[in-house]
Amino acid sequence: MSQQLPLISHLLELRNRLLRAIASVLLVFVCLVYWAKDIYHYMAVPLLQAMPESGTMIATDVGAPFFAPFKLTMVLSLFIAIPYVLYQIWAFVAPGLYKHEKRLVFPLLISSTLLFYLGIVFAYYVVFPVVFGFFANVAPEGVQVATDISSYLNFILKLFFAFGLAFEIPIAVVLLCWAGVTTPEDLKSKRPYIVVGAFVVGMLLTPPDILSQTMLAVPMLLLFEGGLLAARFYKPADDEDDSEEAEQP
């Protein structure tokens, strides 16, 4: 077994990994910032298409026309750089993991990234058109729809994070079963409570309308069922430890 590095070496490596992760986000941001206005317009398309002909977007703050696209581009840079950021995390923790832990963690890092992206894509292409169309159609007669660009940005970022995190449910289920906290059979027996919990989470993470809450809760339940299926392919950590010890001469 290799000699353990002193604490200061671990801290230096952690610092280097963090600096590389931050540098990757900044590099992506520098490449995208020139198109910040175009990126914001692309994100605003679902709302603009749902608005009536008299509807428009407005800026109520003096600096909003600059800061809103700037903020969106920074968040988008973080999303794009996530695979490299996760790789830096993996490279830092991998030397201290057992073989069976590496077999679990690496696939989960890849799948969690893909699921997070899938949640964002689902929110943009499926949820946004429905939610914004609903909001535009329920506006009282005589009320002109005029959405502030900063408020809209905060709204869509909240939904992006909500759906991105919600799509991580299969990963959470697999980790809980692998850690021995629960079992697929135990989770199946608690399915009615999980259904209620999904709608409660949808209520807390989305705007206060039943439509967006349902559109978050239903995918969460489907992903939960997918997590149950995936968890059957992972043995609990204690069982893997025992099998590895049995293989040793």
Q: Kindly give the confidence (pLDDT) of every residue in the chain, 249 residues in length, as a single tens digit, with 9 standing for 90 and above.
A: 444 557 788 788 888 999 999 999 999 999 999 999 999 999 999 988 888 776 778 888 888 888 999 999 999 999 999 989 988 888 888 777 777 777 777 788 888 889 999 999 999 998 888 888 877 777 666 667 778 899 999 989 988 988 888 888 888 888 888 777 788 888 888 888 888 888 888 777 766 667 777 888 888 888 888 888 877 776 665 555 544 444 444
Half-sphere exposure of 202 (CA within 13 A, CB side): 21
Confidence (pLDDT) at 5: 53
Query: The whole model's pTM is what?
Result: 0.80
Q: How many CB atoms lie within 10 A of CB 103?
A: 13
- Bridge partners of 57, per DSSP, are 147
181 phi-psi bin (left φ>0, alpha ψ -120 to 50, beta other): alpha
Residue ranges per structural domain of the chain: 7-167
Confidence (pLDDT) at 243: 47
Contact present, 38 and 45 (Cβ < 8 Å): no
**Residue written as tokens 């977007």?**
57
Q: What crossing angle do the helices spanning 64-93 and 7-32 adopt, rounded to 10°?
A: 140
Confidence (pLDDT) at 244: 47
Each residue of 48-71: pLDDT tens digit?
Answer: 888 877 677 888 888 888 899 999
